[in-house]
Amino acid sequence: MDLRSIEEQLGELESRALAAVADAADPDALKQVEVAFLGRKGELKAILDGIGRLPADDRPRVGAAGNAVKQHVLAAVEARGHRLDQIALEVRLAAERVDPTLPGRPLRRGSLHPVIETTREIVRVLGQFGFVVYESPEVETDELNFQALNIPPDHPARDLWDTLYLDERGFDSDGQGQEAPTRHLLRTHTSPGQIHVMRQTPPPIRALLPGRCFRYENVDASHGFEFFQLEGLMVDEGTTLGHLRGLLDEVAHALFGARRPTRFRPGYYPFTEPSVAFDVQCVICEGRGCPACKRTGWMTILGAGMVHPVVLRNGGIDPERYQGFAFGMGPDRMAMLRYGIDDIREFLTNDVRFLEQF
């Protein structure tokens, strides 16, 4: 092997390598060409391994020629790589081309949950009479949920609520459990919000307190362990049961029709005196009697009454000067009546087919 022979081999390798680079159709093929010609076991390495058999004066020339071939091929590989990337991008852009003149894809619009929609409608009606929405906590103390509402620990009315208490036991140095000094619970009704409002706002008061309540109930078509309530409270001088009756009539007529008959019945709640149940004529049978109204022709939609003097006093209000009334209703039950829903569990199933109807 002499200098001329090696130079001819290098020239012929460069020609073949450049042609192979130009023919590479994708990055993988280009990488294979680079490895075949310039890799550790490639053709250029095999030719340059013969330098040792050349005279010492010829070796630098062969090394320089081999390095030039390598640089030419690497430059061609880099240029081809850029071109392949450009081609791939052009193909992708062509496949993903967007025509801005076409109409856009319509967005699916949601709607309010029927319970929330009913609550908002009730708030809208009562807002016309000056009632303002307040928020109150879902976790309450036993004192506010019961005692401040004229329900002491030994009161038999506590049997009306299956209460969910929080486990707040601590541990002393001996590892023995200790009851927390203040018992907390998930509120069983929105009525403790009355105490919050009365202690924070001086009369006259017109407050609405919507929110979730929790009781340890057997879940069936008409009961759930989680449900909604909307509490109303009005405290002012000279407030009477007649004001309450007129207000509730307006709410019932707004929700169920202007000619819907209503009535008061005697009721019992520890935090009101006197207490009443407010009924509307059955919206299913129009008063003829059906299973929905238990053949009575009437449906109870809320309980109400004049705020007990003890509750007013616990709220920091003088019962000798101010009187008030309160009422509480279940927006989920109201929604069942408005839309003819026969199972309260449907509200919490997250079934889009059910919710889309509203």
Per-position DSSP letters for 14-56, written without gaps between them: HHHHHHHHHH--SHHHHHHHHHHHHSTTSHHHHHHGGGGGS-T
Torsion of CA 312, 318, 322, 325, to 10 degrees: 0
Residue 228 φ then ψ, to 5°: -110, 145
- pTM, two decimals, is 0.64
Give one word for 175, left, alpha or beta, with left for phi > 0 and alpha for psi -120 to 50. left
Other beta carbons within 10 angstroms of residue 173's beta carbon come to 5
Quick one: pLDDT at residue 249? 94
Over its length of 358 residues, how does the chain's per-residue pLDDT go in tens digits?
566 777 788 788 888 888 988 888 888 888 888 888 888 888 877 777 777 677 777 777 777 887 888 888 889 989 988 998 999 888 888 888 877 888 878 887 777 888 888 899 999 999 999 999 999 999 999 899 999 999 888 877 677 667 888 877 654 555 555 555 678 989 989 999 999 999 999 999 999 999 988 887 776 655 667 788 899 999 999 999 999 999 999 999 998 888 889 999 999 888 999 999 999 998 878 888 887 778 888 988 899 999 999 999 999 999 999 999 999 998 888 888 778 777 777 887 777 788 777 7
Given the candidates 3.90.550.10, 3.90.1150.10, 2.40.50.1070, 3.30.930.10, the CATH classification of the domain at 114-138+187-355 is 3.30.930.10
d(CA 272, CA 110): 40
Q: Is 231 helix (H, G, I), strand (E, B) or coil?
A: strand
- The secondary structure element, H or E, covering residue 334 is helix 331-339
C-alpha radius of gyration, the chain, whole number? 42
Token readout for 320 is: 């000798």
> If we measure between CA atoms, which residue out of 42, 77, 61 comes closest to residue 4?
61
Q: Is 298 helix (H, G, I), strand (E, B) or coil?
A: strand
> If we measure between CA atoms, which residue out of 319, 317, 300 comes closest to residue 309?
319
**Domain residue extents for the chain:** 3-95, 114-138+187-355
DSSP 186: E
Share of the chain above pLDDT 90, in %: 34
CA distances, 3 to each of 42, 46, 65 (Å):
20, 15, 11
Other beta carbons within 10 angstroms of residue 133's beta carbon come to 14
